Amino acid sequence: MLKDLVRSFIRENSLIPKGSLVVSAFSGGADSLLMTLLLKELQEELSFELCLVHVNHHIRGAAADSDADFAKEFAKKEGLFLTVLDVDPVEYSRTHSGVSIEEAARILRFEAIGKEISSRREDRAVSVAVAHHIEDLAETVLFRLIRGTGPRGFGGMRAEAYLHTGSGEIRLIRPLLNLKRDAIEEALRDHPYTPRVDETNSDEALSRNRLRKSVLPQLRIINDRAVEHIALASEKIFEASDFVDSEAVKLLEKRDGRLLRSDLDDSHPALSKALIRAYLKRELPSVRDVSEAQIAAILKSARGGLSPGKRTDLPGGFFAITSYEEVMINKTGETPEKGLKGRIEVSFIKGDEALSFARDPALIPRERYTKFFDYDRISGGAIETRTMEEGDFMVIDPSGNRALLRRVFIDKKVPKEERGSIPLLTSGKRVLWAAGVRDSCDARITGDTRVILKAEYKRGE
């Protein structure tokens, strides 16, 4: 029985903790319909609470509204709590350069779900169940292979994954990932519900549909276990990729988030590319559309001996550019404004808010014109706001290495005539922050921080 297979898969992968809340991402299609029915059957046995969320993307007009009505009727008959969320991916795609409607739908779907579940946690674990199965995994691996991907892309889908949204982290679980599509469709014949059908899934002009309807059947003719073998290869590649990526993250953290050209030069090519991917993940709103060719171009531009200033265009209007020491991400038009003038205002954060930042630095907002420092680590605690003076320097890495501010401005491509107007936050000759350009690696917040200095750039004379 599928129920037994799903129960075993959930237990083997520790997908549903006791006493937790499981939010079923319910589209009304065959996969999500069976997943929800099976989770309901297992709810009491595995001791968790189940509710539903349906996202209406409004892309298919009346058909999308009919799907939402089906979700409401299903939830009512099954006695399950349902929330319907409305998003507008068409408008999002129109106002966000380089983001397709499909990508916008994915972003908004999980942003909306993240916001919804953030109000329902109640000090318990919350998981969002999505109904991907083994053919979905195989299709994803093949699609990424054809489009161009790195080792992690070959890793396909995992039974458990974490997704970062504006409302916090979402834990995704895939209880059906070891099931085949035909087994799901066969099982639904014993239930009274007719699953919803998205007519766009039959359009073979779409690459994913062509893979599903034409390519996978041909692969099964060559080997009837082709899908399972793709899934197994995906698991092996993921394990190797996960190790390399973890090493890259460690090195990037050691460098305080900076992507140094020396590290790219000295590392094995696999680690160098993993470093670039990890850095892009930190700096870009989405890395889904970054190609392996772009990663290779960044790596090539950063090799030793090449002059700085090499630029690699990236999705969304961003670009990577090399300085003398590192690779940096900028957005088109996001250079220090000509004649930048204004002032830096400082304030202090203490108590519980400071302690929460100290415990988890990831909570600290990453903004161009607001920076945070450990006040007790500033030499003598004396601070000043001013413009550049002879002898100013900045600590440029966690090891305490320094560079003259003039050199920092050169690396950041700040025109010579504009350097004297950039507002600075300083302690003596030590520059903590050149507004709009970069901040120092000195006085960063750590687990021991108790008082935080918050610096904000205010425009104007």
Q: Can you give the pLDDT at residue 393?
A: 93
Decide: helix, strand or coil at residue 183: helix
Average pLDDT score over residue span 393-419: 84
What's the rounded Cα separation, in Å, for the pair 353 and 335? Answer: 32
pLDDT above 90 covers what percent of the chain?
A: 40
The more confident residue out of 199 and 346 is 346
Q: Can you give the pLDDT at residue 183?
A: 93
Q: What angle do CA 79, 80, 84 make, to 5 degrees?
A: 130
Determine contact, residues 98/119, Cβ cutoff 8 Å: no
Q: Can you give the pLDDT at residue 339?
A: 44
Give, in order, the Cα–Cα distances in Å from 189 to each of 6, 27, 79, 182, 379: 18, 18, 21, 11, 72
Q: Which of 140-144, 188-192, 237-241, 331-335 has the lowest mean pLDDT?
A: 331-335
Angle between helices 181-188 and 30-46 (to 10 degrees): 80
- 63: which residues sit within 8 A by CB, 6+ positions away? 198, 199
Closest Cα to residue 77, out of 42, 52, 58, 57?
52
Average pLDDT score over residue span 328-339: 60
Determine contact, residues 26/52, Cβ cutoff 8 Å: yes
What's the rounded Cα separation, in Å, for the pair 272 and 278? Answer: 10
What's the rounded Cα separation, in Å, for the pair 313 and 331? Answer: 10
Residues 357-390: tens digit of each pLDDT: 777 776 777 777 889 998 888 866 578 888 999 8
Tally Cβ neighbours within 10 Å of residue 92.
Answer: 17
What is the Cβ-side half-sphere exposure of residue 330, based on CA atoms within 13 angstroms?
21
DSSP 307: P
- 345: which residues sit within 8 A by CB, 6+ positions away? 455, 456, 458
| pLDDT > 50? residue 338 | no
What's the rounded Cα separation, in Å, for the pair 29 and 405? Answer: 59
Residues 53-102: tens digit of each pLDDT: 999 998 888 999 999 999 999 999 999 999 999 999 888 888 887 777 88
Closest Cα to residue 101, out of 84, 114, 88?
88
Indicate the pTM of the whole model: 0.63
Q: Can you give the pLDDT at residue 250?
A: 92
Please report where in the chains the tokens 């799907």 appear, as a residue. Answer: 67
Determine contact, residues 54/48, Cβ cutoff 8 Å: no
Q: Can you give the pLDDT at residue 180?
A: 92
The more confident residue out of 286 and 452 is 452
Q: Can you give the pLDDT at residue 204?
A: 66
Q: Can you give the pLDDT at residue 379?
A: 67
Residue 163 corresponds to which tokens in the numbers above?
């997704």
Average pLDDT score over residue span 203-213: 77
What's the rounded Cα separation, in Å, for the pair 461 and 451? Answer: 30
Residue 91 — φ and ψ, nearest 5°? -65, -40
Closest Cα to residue 194, out of 42, 39, 36, 74?
74
Q: Can you give the pLDDT at residue 337?
A: 45
Dihedral of CA atoms 121, 125, 130, 132 in degrees, nearest 10, equals 170
Residue 161 corresponds to which tokens in the numbers above?
């994954």
Mean pLDDT of the chain: 86
Beta-strand relationship, 424-427 and 452-459: unpaired
Determine contact, residues 439/432, Cβ cutoff 8 Å: yes
Determine contact, residues 118/99, Cβ cutoff 8 Å: no
Average pLDDT score over residue span 416-436: 88
- For residue 169, the cross-strand partners are 164
Average pLDDT score over residue span 399-413: 86
